[in-house]
Amino acid sequence: MNPKNNFFDTNIAFSKGIGDQRALLLHGELGIETYRDMLLHYPFRYEDRTLLYKTTELNSQLSFVLLKGKITGMAMEGTGAKKRLTAFLSDGYGAVELVWFQGISWHQKNLNQHSEYIVYGKPALFSGKWSITHPEIDAVLPGQPLQARLTPVYPMTEKLRRKHIDSRVLYKAVESILERGYSEIPETLPLPLIRKYRLISKQDAILHIHLPASENSLHQARRRLKFEELFYNQLQLIRNKFYQKREQPGAVFDNVALVREFYEKHLPFELTGAQARVLKEIRGDMRNGVQMNRLLQGDVGSGKTIVAFISALMAFSNGYQVCIMAPTEILADQHFSNMQKMASRLGIKTGKLVGSTRRGERDILHSGLRDGSIQLVVGTHALLEDEVRFHNLGLCIIDEQHRFGVAQRARLQQKNTRISPHILVMTATPIPRTLAMTLYGDLDQSEIDELPPGRKPVATTHRFDRHRVAVFGFLREQIAQGRQVYIVYPLIEESEKSDLKDLMDGYESISRAFPDIHVSILHGKMKPKEKAFEMNRFARNETKILVATTVIEVGVDVPNATVMVIENAERFGLAQLHQLRGRVGRGGNQSFCILMTSYKLSADTKKRIDTMCRTNNGFEIAQADLELRGPGDLMGTQQSGAVELKVANLAIDGPILKEARVSAQEILENDPALAAPENQVIRAHLRHLGENATNWSRIG
């Protein structure tokens, strides 16, 4: 709705059945302040009230029913917490009891005996009698026909329900707003697009998303609103990409002397075809004078680190500095260790800056970054501090980028005020294509979709708790062969509300089961020095078993560790299970992942476990995760200024997304300024979406 239209700016308090007190509650709980907000608060499901039942047709298989009858009597029953109002509804075929434990006074006052009502609720059989607790009830007005319909159910909060604000209240308010404002709803898509894809109008889409006349009208409303959401999402991302290519100059890295030297003298192994392809794409970005903004996706163990280092060599060869930012100290330590080994062979000075870095070390590091003597720095959020200044920062590499906010990445980029550093963001959490297009459609994207030669897929099995003795026997066999083992628990301390295996209890159990084997422990509440000590013991093969929490999910690289046991695997998401599994299989020996669970598994959990056992492909796992959980977690990282997806579902709406992206691309290629008459509706809607607000998505 156009923000300049005064009708839709009207405070919701003026809507039917709302008033000042309810308006304050709706604003505080749901962010609904105006008529526009109310119309954009879409239902999340619909109840089928198109079939009228008789009381004689009630049975235990029915979830909800619609009844019509007269109230033949009312009675107060029970005392204290069991006090309730019971009304007796007869439809001429039989009777049903209507029961209220709350709102008793209101119903006593407003329900009339011998009057006819429409009742909707869940029937239950008690002592041979059918009853409905807290039904929805509406009086049948004389001469008014029964309107069978799909009834919307809106997102609510418990506080609103306690204040007697339910879906019916919102339904009545929306109905009232649409009665007066339907004709005022402006169109937001160009007519050529509406005709091309046979979309209904915006007016009808808003009407039928709230008050669908049929299943088909609801389908058409959703289809129209999905296309619009995805079209504007892609339009903004593509415009940002065009802007970045046109307005953001980048350093030109045309000298590759260090890359050549590294290839000829120090490359530890032959690059895979996928790594070579990605490096060619990065090289093309870095030599064209435009700032690179590239997302690099690669499954666990696919070799992103060597790609990042060779990319850094391109910067060093041209007199620029590089920073690598990781989300945890463990991951930063891992990167620093790997990078320092390779960099030292080429005479490149490196530094590390994390939260636990001492003051004296920081001062030396800050000085080296300012005068340019330190060419590569690896760190955590500490790199964002104002006192960290660079002599000539040319490349920012951000690992596990989904753990950083866009504003944080912007601060890192602003460390060079003369020219925009190139940005390479990496993730070992594969992102389904539809999600990547929606979240990162303004970034160029590369994939390392090939594992290094010699890497064997991790053999994954599912075992129940009763198999523990056999699992321990297998661990002994592996340790006897010189291998090491991870055992991961979801908790650090015992929780009264949870039946999870407690880490400390697990550590003691493992120590008792393997009294002759050295065991380490690692969790997030340990001090950095303690973590490093335990991790180094395990890395040096001094301890054979590492009992840990998910702190080892990223950043721990021990090629000799070949077994990953995940306790209570049912409590982890697919992406996290895949990340944990990626800690093994990093050497040439066959590795194993054992998923331990209880017997009580939901249908979704069984799908997760089966998927893990069936495939090692991260992109396939990411797609399955999207279909099971929806895009919620990843969408939490959505860039500021991007269109919120309220109706579109990225797990199933890939075809609509592709059509929307193609349409947005064509329109911007033909009319970059959106000056054509048919595109004025786009310009108007972009203004409404806050196009002039700070748009961090241009920063990658």
Query: Strands 350-353, 293-298: parallel, antiparallel or unpaired by DSSP?
Result: unpaired
Q: Give the count of domains, the chain.
A: 3
Could you say which of 112, 147, 182 is where a domain stops? 147
Does one domain contain both 406 and 472? no
pLDDT range class, residue 680, cuts 50, 70, 90: very high
Does one domain contain both 472 and 351? no
pLDDT range class, residue 33, cuts 50, 70, 90: very high
347, 352, 358, 359: CA torsion to nearest 10: 70
Higher pLDDT, 621 or 565: 565
Could you say which of 586, 615, 644 is where a domain stops? 615
Does one domain contain both 410 and 534? no
CATH number of the CATH domain containing 114: 2.40.50.140
Higher pLDDT, 557 or 221: 221
Does one domain contain both 379 and 464? no
Does one domain contain both 467 and 378? no
- Note whether residue 118 is domain-resident: yes
pLDDT digits (tens, 9 = 90+) for 84-109: 899 999 988 989 999 988 888 888 88
- Check residue 635 and give its pLDDT: 45
Does one domain contain both 397 and 321? yes
Alpha helices per DSSP H over 526-653: 528-539, 574-581, 603-614, 618-629, 632-635
- Check residue 693 and give its pLDDT: 44
Query: Strands 136-139, 116-121: parallel, antiparallel or unpaired by DSSP?
Result: antiparallel
Does one domain contain both 385 and 505? no
Q: How many CB atoms within 10 Å of residue 680? A: 12
d(CA 641, CA 662): 21
List the one residue out of 206, 145, 157, 163 whose CA is nearest residue 1.
206
pLDDT digits (tens, 9 = 90+) for 285-336: 999 888 898 989 888 778 888 999 999 999 999 999 999 999 888 788 888 9
Does one domain contain both 529 and 611? yes
Interhelix angle 167-181/202-210, nearest 10 degrees: 150
Does one domain contain both 603 and 465? yes
Higher pLDDT, 667 or 143: 667
- Note whether residue 630 is domain-resident: no
Does one domain contain both 485 and 371? no
CATH number of the CATH domain containing 546: 3.40.50.300
Residue pair 366/601 in contact (Cβ under 8 Å)? The answer is no
- Check residue 631 and give its pLDDT: 62
Please determine, for residue 4, whether its predicted confidence score (pLDDT) is greater than 70: no
Please determine, for residue 180, whether its predicted confidence score (pLDDT) is greater than 60: yes
- Check residue 192 and give its pLDDT: 94
Could you say which of 375, 405, 427 is where a domain stops? 427
Higher pLDDT, 635 or 482: 482
Does one domain contain both 335 and 412? yes
Does one domain contain both 393 and 486? no
**Which domain range does residue 66 map to?**
51-147
- Note whether residue 276 is domain-resident: yes
- Check residue 692 and give its pLDDT: 38
- Note whether residue 110 is domain-resident: yes
